[in-house]
Structures are given as C-alpha cells and as structure tokens.
Amino acid sequence: MQANEKAVDGGLLPDANGKDPNPGGATEGSKWQRPRLSRRSLMKCCLVKWIIASTSPQGPDSSDSDLELSMVRHQPEGLDQLQAQTQFTRKELQSLYRGFKNECPSGLVDEETFKTIYSQFFPQGDATTYAHFLFNAFDMDRNGSIRFEDFVLGLSVLLRGSVTEKLRWAFNLYDINKDGYITKEEMLAIMTSIYDMMGRYTLPSVRDDSPFEHVEKFFQKMDRNRDGVVTLDEFIETCQKDENIMASMQLFENVI
C-alpha cells in the first residue's frame, strides 16, 4: 500500500509514461534544484515540435521576419518587444514565428488546431479534453483564438519561467472556470484528461482510480483550511514546500 501511495503522492502531473515522477529521487531533507532547460529539453515540448516542424529550412532573415509580422490578419507585436517580454532569444522567436505563420496564416490558432496537435503526439489516447483545457489556459482574451504573442508568452513561462511563474500558470490551468479557486472537480477533470491522453496502454498501466487518488492526495496537502477549494496562495505555498510536487514541475514538458 505504501508503494501505491507514493505513486500518487502529489506531483502536479503524472509522468507521460504513467510512472512515479520522483523514483528514487530527492529525499525528504534534500533541496529541490530547478533543472536547466537544454535545447534538447525544449524540443520535447509538443507545441515547439509542432512549430519547428513547420519551419522551412531556408527561412527569411531577421529583417524579413519583422516585415512578415505586418502581412497577416492579426499583427503580432514586434520581435524586439516579444524578446523583452519572454525568455526566448530573437533567433528562437523568429523560428517560432515562421512555424506559427506556416501553420496559421491568419496569425491566430484555434482550439481544433490544438486538438489536432495533441492527437498526433499522443495517438495512443484521447487528447481532445486535455487539448481543450490547455487551449483555454493559453487563450488569455477568452475569445476562442490564440495570438502569437499569447502563444510565446505562455511557452516562455512553461519552459523558462521562474518556479512561481510556472505555479501561477499551472493554477490557471486547473482553475477551469477562472473564479480564482481550484475545486476537487476541476482538478479531477484535468487529471482525468491527462490520463486519457496518455492512453490505457502506458507502462506501467494506469489504474482507473489513479486520477481520483491523485486528487485526494493533492487536496490533503493544499486545502489548508479544509473549505473544499484551493486558493492561489495555498497552491503556491504548498507546492514550494513539497519536494514531490516541485520535482514534478519539470514534467510539464511531457504534456505541453
């Protein structure tokens, strides 16, 4: 029973293979260290792979990239401004924009595109619901489409943001109705969608009750005043003090 409890002991996300996010990892008294994000790690991100795959080998130079920004229906902010707002280099932004423009000539990406992306990267499961939740987290304006600015701002936080920035983004993902609280129902919906996306044939196999167990552990740790909801402060404070949860933050790259 103890081994099962460890498997659901409270990482924010399960491993993409259904494994314990911290097997033989940090001990109770050890200090969690933020992993360094290499280019190889960056390319594990589904959204980045989708974009880069659409980039032509011989794209335009930097001056052409700026010119192209004014040739789409939605005109993004200039690359200099986006570079100042994100942790991406100008060259990385140019590559991301070329791929984004190739896939979305209008300059906007819709929810159906997200569903297509994740169904391609997770063919063993049903990614429809998770793609819906993830799209809503990126759709800052709540207007049913994602601008290039919103896209790269979100990726910057997820891939290169500070611990607090990543936790705020995670809270926004789990807070489905955006009322400032996370309920058990919301957390269960997100966790179930992740397990569904991973598929029933992951190794080791994922039990049907795993999402529920995961959420129960989550709320035992985070709902400090036992009022049935988790606030942003409770979320951030508990995550930063919990080694298992903090170690699991790097697993965002497995399902983003």
229 and 209 share one domain:
yes
157 and 167 share one domain:
no
pLDDT at 251: 53
Show the domain range for 118: 79-161
Instruction: Flag the least confident range among 15-29, 176-190, 235-249.
Output: 15-29
Residue 132: CATH number of its domain: 1.10.238.10
Q: Is the pLDDT of residue 47 over 70?
A: yes
Alpha carbon distance 67, 82 (integer Å): 15
Asked whether residue 4 is assigned to any structural domain, the reply reads no
Q: What does the pLDDT average to over 139-165?
A: 91
Alpha carbon distance 189, 175 (integer Å): 10
116 and 190 share one domain:
no
Angle between helix 232-241 and 163-174 (nearest 10): 130
Q: Which helix (H) or strand (E) holds 230?
A: strand 229-231
141 and 168 share one domain:
no
Report if pTM > 0.75: no
pLDDT at 172: 95
Last residue of a domain, one of 133, 161, 189: 161
Which position has the higher pLDDT, 199 or 189? 189
pLDDT tens across 82-99, in order?
Answer: 999 999 999 999 989 988
Number of domains, the chain: 2
Mean pLDDT, the chain, integer: 75
